[in-house]
Amino acid sequence: MKLPFEMDLKEKVAVVTGAGGILCYCMAQALAECGAKVALLDLNQEAANENAQKICEEGGIAKGYQANVLEKESLQEAHQHILEDFGPCDILINGAGGNHPLATTDKEYFQAADLDEDVKTFFDLAQNGVEFVFNLNFIGTLLPTQEFSRDMIGRKNCSILNISSMNAYTPLTKIPAYSGAKAAVSNFTQWLAVHFAKEGIRVNALAPGFFVTKQNERLLYNKDGSPTARTGKILAATPMERFGEAEELLGSMLFLLNEEAAGFITGVILPIDGGFSAYSGV
Ligand code: NAD
């Protein structure tokens, strides 16, 4: 993997949640490339193991761990193994997250006639779907932070990176729960940055624009591979007129984790979005 710049993380242990997925695997790969020992956590053990295996084959030090970011015991168990395998956590990337169809409306705008049609409206959103999404993104950031940031207390150059989203600034249509949950992740990033400031633990977040991954490909591409109308709208609202590539998150990630470059930066949510958040549409 070609890194945007070199960085030495040889003495560091990095824990990455959601590392069975596309964006966090890429981040885990980059951390390993810089010499960190990387623990890849995911609900999907096979995906975590496979990605860790690939990193090891590339010469990195990595291991996959099955963990549910919504269950304290599961995180404690993974943490215990990581302490034995690699030692205490210096870097935590809270990457596990996503949306759910039960918390997604079929249409962007409500029209009264939808009530008589087979359309999932705002009124049909399932409480358990909304709770699932809020929990996965917000509680799924809070619990791993409670678990792994304990290792950072009293140690130097430790840092936490959360993953927010464009919809934290302005909600995207159809996905109210995911939007609200990511807004909570941004808010929590600022809260925790303040809370941990005296201990020297920096807390920042990346706010990726649009990247095609497992969790959104059904919203962005039809089954036949043609782009959906939503893709057209996204690209029209992205001044650079394209989706991002996972590798394009790496420069920001390494910068925010780098004590020399970003040692006075905490509580920042950095958009990596091809200009999406800056563009009013006119
Ligand atoms: P992805 O679906 O490829 O990866 C998400 C991973 O999280 C999956 O491997 C999944 O198994 C894991 N996961 C789900 N529930 C879990 C749980 N309870 N415990 C542990 N792991 C769990 O998605 P991605 O696009 O790589 O997403 C990574 C992060 O980036 C997410 O927080 C997502 O919300 C955020 N994000 C993505 C985009 C985008 O355009 N793809 C944009 C903004 C933010």
Q: Which residue has the tokens 């809370």?
A: 195
Please give the pLDDT value at position 38.
Answer: 98
For residue 68 and ligand 1, the question of a CB distance below 6 A is answered with yes
Q: Based on the number of CB atoms within 10 Å of its own CB, is 187 exposed (0-12), middle (13-18) or buried (19 or more)?
A: middle
- CA distance between the termini of the chain: 38
- Determine, yes or no, domain membership for 3: no
Query: Does 247 map to a domain?
Result: yes
Q: Report pLDDT digits (tens) over 32-42.
A: 999 999 999 99
Return the pLDDT at 218.
81
Å from CA of 99 to ligand 1 middle: 9
Q: Indicate if ligand 1 lies below 6 Å from the C-beta of 190.
A: no
Instruction: Assess if residue 18 is contained within a domain.
Output: yes
**Residue 7 domain flag:** no
Residue 4 lies in a domain: no
- Our mutation pick for probing the ligand 1 site, out of 17, 24, 216, counting the most ligand atoms within 8 A of Cβ, is 24
Catalogue the active-site residues: 178
Average pLDDT over residues 87-108: 97
Mean pLDDT computed over 118-146: 98
Per-residue confidence at 150, pLDDT binned at 50, 70, 90?
very high
CA of 25 to the centre of ligand 1 (A): 10
Answer yes or no: is 8 within a domain: no
Q: Is residue 6 part of a domain?
A: no
Is 175 close to ligand 1, i.e. is its CB under 6 Å away? Answer: no
Task: Report if residue 83 sits inside a domain.
Answer: yes
Full residue range of the structural domain in which residue 263 is found: 13-278
Which CATH number does the domain housing residue 205 bear? 3.40.50.720
pTM for the whole structure:
0.97
Check pocket membership of 213 for ligand 1, CB cut-off 6 A: yes
Considering its fold, how many domains does the chain have in total?
1
Distance 198 CA to ligand 1 centre (A): 31
pLDDT one-digit tens code per residue, 47-73? 999 999 999 999 999 999 999 999 999
